Structure 1
Amino acid sequence: VIAPLPTDPGPAACQDSARSRARRSQCRSDCRMTRQDKPAFLAAVGGMGDLIVGIDWGDREIGPPNTWPTAIKAALATMLDSPQPMCLCWGDRLAFFFNAAYAPFLGERRGSAIGRPFAGQYISVCVTDTGTGMMPEVAARAFDPLFTTKPLGQGTGLGLSMVYGFVRQSEGQVRICSEVGHGTTMCMYFPRHLGDAAAAEAESHDGHTVAGDGQVVMLIDDEETIRAVVAEALVEAGYRVIDAEDGPSGLRMLRSERRVDLLVTDVGLPGGMNGRQVSDAARVVRPGLKVLFITGYAENAAVGGGRLDPGMQVLTKPFDIAELANRVDALLQP
């Protein structure tokens, strides 16, 4: 569906855009990074029209009726905000479409076409803008946690990484096609569920064992969004996560009888204790505790002149999910 948008935005257009962005922010605040292994039914998508100025909806049913899970609404809101947050007001058009992405000529190759290891039918959810587009090196890092091209204080670099995490935990994939001067298209691909809606709901309550050996990671970071992204990545990798928002709270948990196999902590923390102080105090009661510091500072500045005790490593921001998983896995090896 192609919806014309004002090329010369007047007050009304800008007000509509501001209201839309406020609603998108509400969608994001509603998002909870919890895994639910049940299909998302895409028939009742009309309510998403509130996110977009002047959209016309098609009418093709591709599954049983239900409502959108909050996570997919938040993912769409994030994609509509990125990489040009004012595209609804400044662009000359916005394309937003859903389709049953199983064209006959793709057949069973569809899985490999989107980078997934299994064949089958997929539903695609795509957003296209007519913004400035992205350089290849920017597009290549768009899903990296904490990577942003926005000015200091205007972007967290977490929105698209949360989209990526949600799509991958749904056993799907997300792709970016962007060219400088010609805008960006972002598509999420989800495996199509062909079974009964009631059966799928029942299956989601049967329990699910995540791959991995269930080691426990203590995560400390004062930014809630960063904690959510890192925790989601760790859970998806098979770890159990407990978290805290400041040094003293984290240290209280570390001094308890809880099992903790690894401490992952930001270096700069509120509450009077930084990450290094927390780790040193924790090792008094948990000798040999493995520690991974995450920080936006240079490694030497982050950990007191670069002095790292055995079993400690530093991961500097921005980092990608694969690097985080590799570091955690390496630290937890016997």
Structure 2
Amino acid sequence: MAMLRGPEHRFELTNPGYDKLVGHRPVLGRTVAEALPDAVEQGFLELLDHVYATGEPFTASGMLYAVQASPGGPVDDRYLDFVYQPIRDANGAVVGIFVEGADVTDRKMLERDLQALNADLEQRVRDRTQELVEAQEALRQAQKMEAVGQLTGGIAHDFNNLLQGITGSLEIVQRRVAQGRVGELDRFITGATTAANRAASLTHRLLAFSRRQPLDPRPVKANPLVASLEDLLRRTIGERIEFEMVLGAGLWTTLCDPNQLENSLLNLVINARDAMPHGGKLTIETCNAHLDDHFAASQRDVRPGHYVCICVSDTGTGMSADTISKAFEPFFTTKPIGQGTGLGLSMIYGFARQSEGYAKIYSEVGQGTTVKLYLPRHYGEAEQDEPLPGLTQDHVTDAGEIVLVVEDDTVVRSLIVEVLGELGYQAVEAHDGPTGLERLRTMERIDLLVTDIGLPGLNGRQVADAGRAMRPGLRVLFMTGYAENAALAAGFLEPGMSMITKPFAMEALATQIRTIIEG
């Protein structure tokens, strides 16, 4: 404690605690400026002047006072809690300041040590977390490599068979044409086409398990769709297996890609057939389902609400709990190498999740398996099926519009140019992005740009944007084999742009082109 008198803050009284703080310097009868120059340098005199002038007390907590008892001597950092309390006379005028405080240096040192300890602990936690993240990433990478190893047995086997069907058929066609024997070409052309379509389907399955396949969600009535597959499914399972459909009355409409739903059902039926090598019973049921909050909370990634449920059950060998836990993983299969790719169930799961739905497996060893596919209810009417477009006179143009085709695959580019020529268009070719851009710069007229998105040099979107900078309003049709681009179609495409996903039928391409050109 200390008592300061007058505006010059002259020491009138100090106690032993204050004397110890200031290094036992002689302060009585002297002003603060005379006795404590170190305090003056650190702003304490300004604080005293302010309290004396305003009459308002000043309170500090943990304030640093670097005590230097003699000029040039050692500095002792002390931390103080203190108050400057103005003292008034009978008339209320400020005549002095009472100083009272406590040395809390030990407390501040402890707080600083704790802060350092906490900072060190936080850093150690961050380091440990990073180590765990890196370990998990290494584990995921190892699992990916293991999956790739499993993939080579199934996918490579299937693709090699498909490629053999394509190349073998085309070799025979080429040889027969050279011999002038053109009477039976349809059979071999059909074989090559069938193999190519199967290869395309396999590619879509690969994209499906990664949830990147191009979905075309539409309002769908599941009962007619399931019923339309009955003949195909009966032929698929054979005569040893009893087949029954139980289609629920009043089934709601759902919103999904009908082609992917058909593919999912076919995969489930094939799995069920393989699980019943000696025969059994296969049942497909449909019903309306409500997943409540309690059920959704007990499952992962499930939202409560109304769903259309499609259930495929068999009386086959069943699955163990361990197999069920892995069944939706890509490339996981219980079939021998070369007989299964492990993509069927993962494709189904990917399709369900992309459709904002859910898939669940119930099974017991020796008792059979049930797979339930939940697809969200759609509050609207299902669309009427439209016949597939075909190359007709409606696709032919009399105006001779000029179409720039930018595609790096020679075979694909040649096929598109050939079809455009047959339909009356003037097709101009470019094998990469920079070449396409040069055509856009130099040609006088271009009515439509047809470009692959994945191009060397410049990608298709860059070519289109540069083309529109030179030719505002240029119509563009993007082609892509990378399905994630199709998923971006809503935000990726601007007015006057459209997209078609490979592989596509030529009549579908012709329809798209005609639609875009007609505006």
TM-score (ref. length: structure 2): 0.27
Higher strand share: 2
Higher helix share: 2
**Structure number, greater radius of gyration:** 2
